[in-house]
Amino acid sequence: MRLRDALALARRRLAQAGIDGAALEARLLLECATGLDRLRQIAEPDRELSFEEVERFLALVDRRCAREPLAHIRGEREFHGLGFEVSPAVLVPRPETETLVELATRHLPEGPGRLLDVGTGSGCLLVTLLHLWPQSYGVGTDLSLDALTLARRNARRHGVAARAGFVCTHLAEAVDGGMGLVVSNPPYVQTRDLEFLPPEVRLFEPRLALDGGIDGLDAYRALVPDLPRLLAPGGLAVLETGRGQAGAVAGMLREAGLEVVEIRPDLAGIPRAIAARRRTHPLRRS
């Protein structure tokens, strides 16, 4: 089969399965199956693919038509310019989560010294921040040992493993304080909304990392009151929130005695990241 014919077949099948961007995804799957990058695919449309290459390619197309995430099929996803290994044990890194990186680096341009990533998953936040701040050290926590194993591999991949530690614990229960920065992308989907998520998410990503309880705020209720213990005086917390949750989470942060310093929207205009600082001196209550 010629390369152009294989791509045309894959495009049709992916489009029929409801995949947006079927043409691009077909090329990415062909690259996985054959090693031919997109430039070579464009330059060699009449190239004859071997039987083995066609068989591998169509097997990948079958997986994608079953709505397995493209990132799982390829084994990695880009985040903030870095490639991260992913698996069904972790959430696939999303572009909107990059908002946390932007907010943290804006308020801590020289780095925090010590940072904590609560619910690290693939390690995309922790590893990216340590990559940007070569003088900082960090800890990632997760309840999933499989996730922590994968995060360690990502830390080694990007040369920050010597400055990264990983702890299996619920939120930050087993972690000491004194952090200059705490970041977290906690589960925030309302339980009743899980069944309406895209099949790539609903069927293939860990429910533990998605389900935020009846109103989506369970993880914040557990984590936010612990932030004053975790943060050093003047330390910063940066949390991701879902649609319509920023106000409630900001209220929790203020109730915990933190000063909300910025709420930043993602590219879709949804308030996505909240930065709050532990005051150097606690407020006196009259």
What would the pLDDT profile of 148-195 be if each residue is shown by its tens digit? 999 999 999 999 999 999 999 999 999 999 999 999 999 999 999 999
Distance CA 115, CA 117 (A): 7
User: Is the separation of the CB atoms in 215 and 190 below 8 Å?
Assistant: yes
* Residues 32-35: contacts with CB under 8 Å, at least 24 apart: 32/60, 32/73, 32/74, 33/57, 33/59, 33/60
**The pTM of the whole model exceeds 0.85:** yes
Model pLDDT, residue 284: 54
The pLDDT tens digits along the chain (286 residues) read: 999 999 999 999 999 999 999 999 999 999 999 999 999 999 999 999 999 999 999 999 999 999 999 999 999 999 999 999 999 999 999 999 999 999 999 999 999 999 999 999 999 999 999 999 999 999 999 999 999 999 999 999 999 999 999 999 999 999 999 999 999 999 999 999 999 999 999 999 999 999 999 999 999 999 999 999 999 999 999 999 999 999 999 999 999 999 999 999 998 999 999 999 998 865 554 4
All structural domains of the chain with their residue ranges = 3-66, 80-278
CATH code assigned to 80-278: 3.40.50.150
Burial 160-178 (b: 16+ CB within 10 A, else e): bbebbebeeeebbeebebe
pLDDT of residue 286: 42
